[in-house]
Structure 1
Amino acid sequence: MITFSATTVLVLALIAALVFAGGVWAYSTANRLDRLHVRSDQSWLALDSALARRAVVARSVALASADPEQAKRLATLADRAERACRTDRETVENQLSAALSMVDIGTLRPQLVAELADAEARVLIARRFHNDAVRDTLALRTRRPVRWLHIAGTAPLPTYFEITERVTPAASTGLEVDTVRTSARIVLLDENDRVLLMRGNDPATPEISFWFTIGGAVEPGESLREAAVRELWEETGHRADPAALRGPIWRRVAVFPFDRELIRAEELFFVLRVTAFTPEPGKLSTIERRSITGNKWCTPSDIVAVDQSGETVYPYHLDELLPAAIAAVAGAGDLEVTSIR
């Protein structure tokens, strides 16, 4: 019969504990790496989508250009950008950026100017999100224990995407915006998972209506949560505790014309569940009284119907985003802010 001394048992126990701890570390690191790879893949898809949208807008700019040579170059580069493989993409996109910077925006329709600014802003934000994801992934993958143990397996290394950023108030378009602001918005859900949307229009184009979530610009000295609940009361008469808000869950950067001004807004979205009520404005500003024309508690199918009727809903694809908002308001703990349109 084999017997072990107390010292041997202790040593074996320590070795077992070290092996177990190492296994737990390797398992948790592998899971973290998997999440980081998923994040970098998703961020690339978002960047690819933003670049594709910019190419579409560039083609519209080409059609509106009075310079035949410039129009031909823009159209050609837009086509090349859409077809370029990953290795050539940076070069082609930088060429397209340079060509867009040469456009005289004074000759374009205001709506096309806003679309161009919005497209460039989305590329700027998506590229930063992607490169942040790549940085975090590489930081973990290049650690010696991770490399020695081949924890990452055969997954390819993610790569940065470098594109020239022309840092201007209009987010790399060369445009001069009249107002730059940060906005706090609320996805207000009732007990039946309907979202309250406001209907309104631009005072400069009252014949065109659109729908949007509750919210507005953050005033000096306010926090995002304070601004969100203030806007909620002003637009609906409902009072809420800032601490009851969940989020922010989404981040949206938009450049758009409003009341004959070009505005660049960075919007942060919170989510809040309440019992359905009939909105009665608490205190609308002069511009809000001119621009807000109605409201409605909407289901996803209602949102689709409104979109199909020709009245745009902001943010885009809100019907598809609502499940994430519903999950966020029902959950606990920290939430990751995602970029939306």
Structure 2
Amino acid sequence: MTFSATTVLVLGLVALLVLALGVWAYSTANRLDRLHVRSDQSWQALDAALARRAVVARAVAMAVAGPVSTDPLRGDRAAQLATLADRAERADRADRETVENQLSAALSLVDIEQLRPQLVAELADAEARVLIARRFHNDAVRDTLALRTRRPVRILHLGGTAPLPHYFEITERATPAAATGLEVHTTRTAARVVLLDEQDRVLLLRGHDPTAPEVPFWFTVGGGVEPGESLRDAAVREIHEETGQRVDPAVLRGPLWRRVAVFPFNGELIRSEELFFTLRAPRFEWRPAALNALERRTITDHRWCTPADIRALEELGEAVYPYHLDELLAEAATAAGDDTDHVVRSIR
């Protein structure tokens, strides 16, 4: 049996079309799988942010109620807030939006003048995290649905049996402080560096808020990005200013982590988006080169710390930022030794 040249050509074209369709279907299915993973992870992050807000809301309710409340209305509002926080933690996915909106409304009625500054900052930070996590989740849902609802994708069932993701809609305020009613005085982006020595000990600086010198805390090297400056250049500049060391920007690894924090400092409320690099360098003597006047007043000590050292500082009641740095150091040490690109993930 022989085939004409035309038949062979037609069969070849059909084979190429089938192959192209198969490659497209395979790549699309893989992309859908990644999008579903992204939407699942974004929901987990949002769920964690909502859970943290519920914990802070419960602390706010206790503060509003006070040890002995002589105001029945104040006690009722505190009880209602605590009840809504409990319901938000236990609500299933179908009822979550309604309950979280009720909790948002209750929090918006809280008189923040009744709260300690630290609790106000915790509430602002929790609200900001919910706002950011919700936006990330809805972006992931949007991208997944945009591909899942295309006709060829539906006809070929490339989405498999994975359920369609759903948007999560809750009321949010336009202010960066979210539903706290606070005015954020400063919003900044910061480059921070997990600076490790040969034994994977991290350099931490000890400082305090000028308005609360009795409450020290520890933090990594780094600071705000200046206008026109890249994150990497800012990190290199901060290393020199705060340690006296000059490093090549190319040796920095990352950024690895992203942290959004809202906190009071020097009488202002600051919202800081922090991106963390990592760097391993030979241990050196700490000689800051260009601390400004405020930093010279508020940075009081430094220490090269192991995970155990970090836990010991926390046991003494001195906060270490970012949270859970003792658990994060292994990841930073691994990243410091390779050249691969890293996916930035959110931390506290």
Per-residue CA deviations over 1:193-228 (Å, capped at 9, x if unaligned) read 433222222233333322211111222332322222
Aligned length, in residue pairs: 340
Aligned 1:276-287 pairs, distance under 5 A: 276-287=283-294
Helix, strand or coil: the match of 2:180? coil
Native 8 Å contact 2:107 2:179 kept in 1: no
Match of 2:229?
222
Q: Which moved more, 1:156-165 or 1:288-297?
A: 288-297
Match of 1:112?
119
Query: How far, CA to CA, are the matches of 2:222 and 2:27 in structure 1?
Result: 40
Q: Which amino acid aligns with 1:95?
A: Q
Helix, strand or coil: the match of 2:287? coil
Aligned 1:282-297 pairs, distance under 5 A: 282-297=289-304
By how many angstroms is 1:137 displaced?
1.2
Match of 1:179?
186
Native 8 Å contact 1:233 1:239 kept in 2: yes
Native 8 Å contact 2:185 2:268 kept in 1: yes
Native 8 Å contact 1:170 1:177 kept in 2: yes
Q: Which moved more, 1:328-337 or 1:285-294?
A: 328-337
Native 8 Å contact 1:252 1:268 kept in 2: yes
Match of 2:19?
20
Query: How far, CA to CA, are the matches of 1:253 and 1:314 in structure 2?
Result: 12
Query: How far, CA to CA, are the matches of 1:329 and 1:161 in structure 2?
Result: 37
For residues 188 and 12 of structure 1, do their structure 2 counterparts lie closer, same or farther at Cα, with a shift above 3 Å needed?
Answer: farther
Q: TM-score, normalised by structure 1?
A: 0.92
Aligned 1:21-40 pairs, distance under 5 A: 21-40=20-39
Query: How far, CA to CA, are the matches of 2:143 and 2:335 in structure 1?
Result: 24
Per-residue CA deviations over 1:235-261 (Å, capped at 9, x if unaligned) read 111112334433333221111122333
Q: Which amino acid aligns with 1:175?
A: L
Q: Which moved more, 1:197-206 or 1:225-234?
A: 197-206
Helix, strand or coil: the match of 1:151? coil
Match of 1:273?
280
Match of 2:242?
235
Match of 1:10?
9
Aligned counterpart for 2:317 among listed residues 295, 307, 310: 310
Q: Which amino acid aligns with 1:215?
A: G
Query: How far, CA to CA, are the matches of 1:212 and 1:236 in structure 2?
Result: 13
Match of 1:42?
41
For residues 320 and 139 of structure 1, do their structure 2 counterparts lie closer, same or farther at Cα, with a shift above 3 Å needed?
Answer: farther
For residues 197 and 134 of structure 1, do their structure 2 counterparts lie closer, same or farther at Cα, with a shift above 3 Å needed?
Answer: same
Helix, strand or coil: the match of 2:21? helix
Aligned 1:11-160 pairs, distance under 5 A: 11-66=10-65, 67-160=74-167
Helix, strand or coil: the match of 1:40? helix
By how many angstroms is 1:328 displaced?
4.1
For residues 235 and 21 of structure 1, do their structure 2 counterparts lie closer, same or farther at Cα, with a shift above 3 Å needed?
Answer: same
Native 8 Å contact 2:49 2:129 kept in 1: yes
By how many angstroms is 1:15 displaced?
2.4
Native 8 Å contact 2:112 2:180 kept in 1: no
Query: How far, CA to CA, are the matches of 1:318 and 1:72 in structure 2?
Result: 35
Per-residue CA deviations over 1:150-191 (Å, capped at 9, x if unaligned) read 111110011111111111142332112332222121222344
For residues 4 and 52 of structure 1, do their structure 2 counterparts lie closer, same or farther at Cα, with a shift above 3 Å needed?
Answer: same
Q: Which moved more, 1:94-103 or 1:204-213?
A: 204-213
Query: How far, CA to CA, are the matches of 1:138 and 1:325 in structure 2?
Result: 35
Q: Which amino acid aligns with 1:321?
A: L
Query: How far, CA to CA, are the matches of 1:337 and 1:138 in structure 2?
Result: 23
CA RMSD of aligned residues (A): 2.1
Helix, strand or coil: the match of 1:278? coil
Q: Which amino acid aligns with 1:52?
A: A
Query: How far, CA to CA, are the matches of 2:285 and 2:148 in structure 1?
Result: 53
Match of 1:260?
267
Query: How far, CA to CA, are the matches of 1:311 and 1:242 in structure 2?
Result: 32
Helix, strand or coil: the match of 1:264? strand
Q: Which amino acid aligns with 2:328?
A: L
Native 8 Å contact 2:226 2:234 kept in 1: yes
For residues 103 and 27 of structure 1, do their structure 2 counterparts lie closer, same or farther at Cα, with a shift above 3 Å needed?
Answer: same
Q: Which amino acid aligns with 1:141?
A: R
Query: How far, CA to CA, are the matches of 1:235 and 1:216 in structure 2?
Result: 9
Long gaps (5+) in structure 1: none
What fraction of aligned residue pairs are identical, expressed as a percent?
75
Native 8 Å contact 2:128 2:176 kept in 1: no
Native 8 Å contact 1:186 1:215 kept in 2: yes
Q: Which amino acid aligns with 2:257?
A: W
By how many angstroms is 1:330 displaced?
4.4
Native 8 Å contact 1:166 1:173 kept in 2: no
Long gaps (5+) in structure 2: 66-73
Helix, strand or coil: the match of 2:179? coil
For residues 201 and 164 of structure 1, do their structure 2 counterparts lie closer, same or farther at Cα, with a shift above 3 Å needed?
Answer: same
Q: Which moved more, 1:155-164 or 1:183-192?
A: 183-192
Helix, strand or coil: the match of 2:81? helix
Match of 2:332?
325
